[in-house]
Amino acid sequence: MKTNKNLPVRRDRVSLGGLLVAAAGGWILYSHYGINHRMPLPEAIPADRISLYSKTAGRLSYYVDRSGTDRPLVLIHSVNAAASAYEVRPLFEAYRGKRPVYALDLPGFGFSERSDRIYSSSLYANAICEFIASEIGEAVDVIALSLGCEFAAAAALERPELFHSLAFLSPTGLNQSIRGSSSRLAQLYGLSNGLHLFLSFPVWAKPLFDFIATQSSVEFFLKRSFIGPVPRGLVEYAYTTAHQPGAEYAPLYFLSGKLFARNAFEVLYARLKTPTLAIYDRDIYTGFNRLPDLLLRNPAWQAVRLVPSLGMMHFERPQDTVDILANFYRGLK
């Protein structure tokens, strides 16, 4: 009688597969019954917080300090698994009392509406335009972070009269197509729709997001944007804001790449007429090798490299960031 020498290997594979299925099932149960998805969420910024109803984005929340003078300043945070206006808190603190300053929670994040709907770059751009038009009513200076820069650029192209200037901190969309995050690459290679269908499947959408949004995972991804230690307040707030009802909906669109412009360089940045500043150095999630071409092609752009930094320079080098911005704003007057 012949023996099957591959049988032990097959048994090992079956055992391993069974363990993985059991672990996944256990995590799904734990996600639904063992994780608090209604954690008390404090204010991201110690300032007045106001909500408004947007025709395009539903409930929008923003922080404001109107005690300063000069042109209003609007701060736009990035988009990730645990984003919120906390990401622009150092800038809010730097400018409050000096000029009217606003920090918006983008749709799907913070105290803004987190309903199960289609999230897209146009939703974010329209929300920014509607917010500025209805709540401020004059041309503003905008400082945006990472992917938020693409939304701000799209908004400025849609309603240029609302934007006096744009300042982009570590903007996405300036890297070659062969580089970037997995989310960005999924968009570039046309995989976003299928990936989102998989990620958002009801059985595992929330458990999968919970796995991504553990405190250790949140801290791991934030560390990649800091040279030094990550501020504990940022880690704790990111974890808390990722444990709210509906917290997974917008991030799953982001993770599938559906929020990135297909070609931000051509579609957005090269077309801008609004004076625009890029502050950058290195960023593990994107690259800037197309920035020199952009500076040659579009005279509305200028750039300053702040060395060393990894994408969150306004946390680690706030005064240097503000000084660069001050030089930019002086040049506009």
pLDDT of residue 262: 87
User: Does the structure show a pLDDT above 90 at 4?
Assistant: no
User: Given this model, what pLDDT does residue 179 score?
Assistant: 47
Scored b (16 or more CB within 10 A) or e, 241-272 reads: bbbbeebbbbbbbbbbbbbbbeebbebbbbeb
The single residue listed with the structure tokens 């994408």 is 311
Average pLDDT over residues 28-40: 79
In the chain, what are the domain boundaries?
48-180+261-332
Tens of pLDDT, residues 263-301: 999 999 999 999 999 999 999 999 999 999 999 999 999
Cis peptide before 308 (omega within 30 of 0): yes
Question: Which residues on neighbouring strands pair with residue 48, listed in sequence order?
Answer: 64
Q: What is the DSSP letter of 229?
A: P
3-state secondary structure of 168: strand
Does the domain at residues 48-180+261-332 carry the CATH identifier 3.40.50.1820? yes
Work out the burial of residue 25: count CB atoms within 10 Å of its CB; fewer than 13 is exposed, 13-18 middle, 19 or more buried: exposed
Question: What three-state secondary structure class fits 300?
Answer: coil
pLDDT number for residue 275: 98
Segment among 24-28, 105-109, 161-165 with least mean pLDDT: 24-28
Q: How confident is the model at residue 238 (pLDDT cuts 50, 70, 90)?
A: very high
C-alpha angle 220-222-224 in degrees, rounded to nearest 5: 80
Percentage of the residues of the chain whose pLDDT score is greater than 70: 86
